[in-house]
Amino acid sequence: MPSTDTLPRRSRVLVLVLLVAGAAAFVAAGVIGRDDPGDVSVRSDPAVEALIPVRGARVLQQSPVGIDLAPGWELVSLQIFPDDRFVAGTGVDVIGEVSVTEGLLLYTFQPGEGKALAALSAETNCVVATYRRLARPDDVGSIDWCFEVT
pLDDT tens-digit map of 14-61: 776 666 655 544 433 433 344 455 577 788 899 999 999 999 999 999
- The answer as to whether 2 is a domain residue is no
Q: Is 133 domain-assigned?
A: yes
CA 95 from chain centre, in angstroms, equals 18
What pLDDT does residue 25 have?
Answer: 47
**Cα separation, 148 vs 65, whole angstroms:** 12
Domain that holds residue 141: 40-149
The whole-number pLDDT of residue 33 equals: 43
What's the pLDDT at 57?
97
CATH number at residue 88: 2.60.40.1220
- What per-residue confidence (pLDDT) applies to 30? 39
Q: Is 15 part of a structural domain of the chain? A: no
17 assigned to some structural domain: no
Give the integer Cα–Cα distance in Å for 75 and 85.
Answer: 22
Whether residue 16 lies inside any domain: the answer is no
pLDDT digits (tens, 9 = 90+) for 119-133: 999 999 999 999 999
Residues 6+ apart with CB under 8 A from 121: 61, 82, 83, 149
Q: How many domains is the chain partitioned into structurally?
A: 1
Residue 95 lies in a domain: yes
Asked, for residue 44, whether it belongs to a domain, the answer is yes
Comparing CA positions, the residue from 142, 128, 131, 127 lying closest to residue 57 is: 127
Q: What's the pLDDT band for 90 if we cut at 50, 70, 90?
A: confident
Q: Please report, rounded to a whole number, the percentage of residues in the chain having pLDDT higher than 70.
A: 79
Residue 19 within a domain: no
Q: Using an 8 Å Cβ cutoff, are 69 and 46 in contact? A: no
